[in-house]
Each structure stands twice: as structure tokens, then as C-alpha cells.
């Protein structure tokens, strides 16, 4: 009898010890509160397109557990109860964020389809997120704004070296994806191209060709270690000053057609990570660029871990990861998993979306 009782107790203890210990569930205690704005009535125009027009401020959300919280700001047509919201600011951990007049105009006229040259009423709200939990939703703030039609609706945008076209994009609809340049948003273009020494210009083909050169002013920003710096050119129509490239190399250019600003950055790409020598995220392994193939490649001995792509041995102002682990790159994206072995890693920035591949080296 004692043996039976002892056995029953042992089984009970075993079952109890195998039960999963469950902690408290994450719960929203207080949703974020969006503060009132300094102004709620705006007349938007090209003259103020680059100006900060709204600064959102909100009280941070509170949860029952200590955790990292991020926020998004949404816009929707007033009176729709946010039935079709559009994210205007994404994934910020701060308690404030700003937008320019151009950005507000773009989201009203294009994303919400309110048209240009008209008065529209929109609402903003803030959502708080922890992981994949349901958001904490703030109150809404209403704004009235008169939209405008931004200048320059191009059919094609081309980067030229003299009469030679280096890179071009055809635009029947500016918001449709393309294979040459990344249209990051309305009027914003970026792309990569191998440049030799010489003079550059931007040609905009629309009703009439618009050839943009550099105004006498040149601004430098964001130092880029080892190969140079981001050079910011203020463009002007029929300007006599060329955009000069002093050193042959692989350059990223970003064109803002709304402010006529061109940024040119020389890049030398590498891979870095816990799966890449020296396996500690301290130094990039420099990749080799093939002008003929327009690809960056390297062969490395990898560990089973992670890596990312970055230019010029620096993290800012640019690096690439892969949020979906699908071979498509995302700016400041997630670390890329890699297994152990001798790998050939390839980076393809010659068309958008940018891609990469990791293959076993042939023995």
C-alpha cells in the first residue's frame, strides 16, 4: 500500500514539474495621447515644400510589463473613422515626430486621393505597439489643408555623362515600380551606377526636356569613411556648372525632384557580422566589384550566424539587411542568417528592388 501511495505522489510531482510556467499576459494600461497642434489649418505650396509644417507630440503608452514600445502615426480622411488609414510615420521609439509640407501634400493628394488644388480635411492618430500585440490607439487630431500640384511631372529621368546615358527610368506613372531606380516616394529617386571621371547632368524628359546642372553652391554632409563623403548639389535649370566626378567608382545618387537636390555618395561595399570573419561585427570584409557584371562579390568562410551589407566600413548613412529573409534587401533591415561553410556572397544593386544571394562555393 505504501508503495502505491509513494508511486502516486511521485507521478503527481512529475506532472506538476512538467507543467509550463506561465507569466502574466501583456496588457495595455494607458494608450498614447496625441497632443493638440500649434495650427490646424494650412495652405501648402512648392515655396514651403521643404519646411517642417507639423510636429506631432504624444504621451507614451504604458503597459503592465516593462517592455520596448514603438509608435506609428496614421493619416485618414476626416469622418471615415480611420477605415482606410495610411501610415505617415512608421516605427519610431520617440514621443514626437515631424513632417514637411511636401509630405503632407503627398499623403493627402496621392495616398488618400484627395486631389490637388483642393481643400481637404484629414485626421491623425498615434498607435503604440509591442511585438505583434494589438495596438494602443490614441485620440485623433483633425487638420484642414489646401493641396498643390508639385512641379515637374517627368516622363523619364536620366543620369547623363555628356551625351552618354548612364541610368534612366521611364515613368508613365511615377508610382509604379521600375527596374532601374528606386522610387522611394513621390518625386524621390535613387540608384547606383559605376561612374568614370567626368561631368554629369540630370535630364528630365516631359513635355519639354529639362536639363539640370549644378548651381555654384555645393554642400558637404555625412562623412563617409575611407572613400569620401556625401556631396549635396543644388540643381538648377540650364545651369552652367557641371556636376563633377573626380574619381572613378561606384556611386549612389539620390534625386529629390521637389527641392532639386542631388546627393552623390561613393560606395565600396562589404559584408559584416557574427557569421563573417572576424565573426564579431567589428570589421567588414570588402567585396569586389565587377564593372562587366555590375555586381559585388566575395568568397568567405562563414559561421552559422548572421551578417549584413554596409558601405565604406560604416553603418551610417546606409546599410542593408533583409526583413523577409527572401533575398530582397531593406535599408536598415534585419540581420541575414547564414549557415557555416565556404560561401560566395553576391550583392546586386543594378536594379530595384535590390537583391543578394548566398551560394556554396564549388569545391
Domain assignments of the chain as residue spans, ordered by start = 28-146, 156-267, 269-360
What is 156-267's CATH topology? Immunoglobulin-like (2.60.40)
Considering only the top CATH level, what class is 28-146? Answer: mainly beta
Q: pTM for the full model? A: 0.54
- State residue 172's pLDDT score: 33
pLDDT digits (tens, 9 = 90+) for 4-32: 555 444 544 444 444 445 567 888 999 99
Give pLDDT tens digits along the chain (363 positions).
555 555 444 544 444 444 445 567 888 999 999 999 989 999 998 788 778 899 999 999 999 988 889 898 999 999 999 998 988 887 788 999 988 887 888 788 877 888 888 899 999 999 999 877 789 999 999 999 999 876 544 555 666 666 777 766 544 333 333 334 445 555 667 778 887 766 666 665 544 455 555 554 443 333 333 344 777 776 666 556 667 777 888 888 777 766 667 788 889 999 999 999 999 999 999 999 998 899 999 999 999 999 999 999 999 888 999 998 899 998 889 999 999 999 999 999 987 778 999 999 987
pLDDT digits (tens, 9 = 90+) for 324-360: 889 999 888 999 999 999 999 999 998 777 899 999 9
- State residue 207's pLDDT score: 43
Assess contact for 158 and 202: CB atoms under 8 A: yes
Find all residues with CB under 8 Å of 207, minimum gap 6, and list them.
none
- Identify the architecture of domain 269-360 in CATH: Sandwich (2.60)
The C-alpha angle with vertex 246 and arms to 240 and 250, in degrees rounded to 5, equals 110
- d(CA 122, CA 108) in angstroms, rounded, equals 8
Residue 276's closest CA among 299, 301, 313?
301
All three cell numbers of 203, joined, read 535630364
Same topology, domains 28-146 and 156-267? Answer is: yes
Amino acid at each position: 500500500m505504501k508503495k502505491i501511495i509513494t508511486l502516486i505522489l511521485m507521478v503527481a510531482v512529475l506532472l506538476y514539474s512538467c507543467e509550463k510556467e506561465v507569466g502574466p499576459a501583456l496588457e495595455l494600461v494607458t494608450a498614447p495621447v496625441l497632443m493638440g497642434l500649434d495650427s490646424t489649418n494650412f495652405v501648402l505650396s512648392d515655396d514651403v515644400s521643404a519646411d517642417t509644417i507639423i510636429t506631432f507630440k504624444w504621451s507614451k503608452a504604458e503597459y503592465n510589463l516593462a517592455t520596448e514600445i514603438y509608435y506609428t502615426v496614421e493619416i485618414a480622411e476626416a469622418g471615415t473613422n480611420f477605415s482606410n488609414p495610411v501610415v505617415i510615420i512608421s516605427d519610431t521609439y520617440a514621443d514626437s515626430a515631424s513632417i514637411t509640407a511636401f509630405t503632407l501634400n503627398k499623403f493627402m493628394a496621392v495616398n488618400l486621393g484627395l486631389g490637388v488644388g483642393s481643400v481637404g480635411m484629414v485626421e491623425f492618430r498615434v498607435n503604440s505597439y509591442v511585438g505583434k500585440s494589438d495596438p494602443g490607439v490614441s485620440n485623433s487630431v483633425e487638420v484642414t489643408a489646401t493641396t498643390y500640384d508639385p512641379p515637374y511631372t517627368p516622363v523619364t529621368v536620366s543620369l547623363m555623362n555628356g551625351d552618354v546615358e548612364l541610368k534612366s527610368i521611364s515613368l508613365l506613372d511615377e508610382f509604379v515600380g521600375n527596374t532601374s531606380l528606386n522610387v522611394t516616394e513621390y518625386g524621390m529617386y535613387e540608384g547606383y551606377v559605376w561612374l568614370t571621371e567626368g561631368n554629369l547632368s540630370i535630364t528630365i524628359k516631359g513635355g519639354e526636356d529639362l536639363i539640370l546642372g549644378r548651381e555654384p553652391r555645393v554642400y558637404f554632409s555625412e562623412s563617409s569613411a575611407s572613400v569620401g563623403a556625401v556631396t549635396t548639389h543644388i540643381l538648377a535649370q540650364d545651369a552652367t556648372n557641371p556636376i563633377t566626378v573626380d574619381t572613378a567608382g561606384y556611386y549612389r545618387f539620390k534625386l529629390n525632384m521637389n527641392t532639386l537636390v542631388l546627393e552623390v555618395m561613393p560606395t565600396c561595399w562589404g559584408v559584416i557580422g557574427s557569421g563573417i570573419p572576424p565573426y564579431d561585427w567589428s570589421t567588414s570584409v570588402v567585396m569586389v566589384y565587377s564593372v562587366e557584371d555590375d555586381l559585388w562579390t566575395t568568397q568567405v568562410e562563414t559561421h552559422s550566424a548572421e551578417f549584413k551589407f554596409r558601405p565604406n566600413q560604416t553603418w551610417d548613412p546606409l546599410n542593408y539587411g533583409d526583413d523577409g529573409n527572401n533575398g530582397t534587401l531593406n535599408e536598415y533591415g534585419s540581420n541575414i542568417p547564414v549557415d557555416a561553410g565556404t560561401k560566395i556572397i553576391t550583392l546586386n544593386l543594378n536594379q530595384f528592388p535590390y537583391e543578394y544571394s548566398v551560394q556554396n562555393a564549388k569545391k
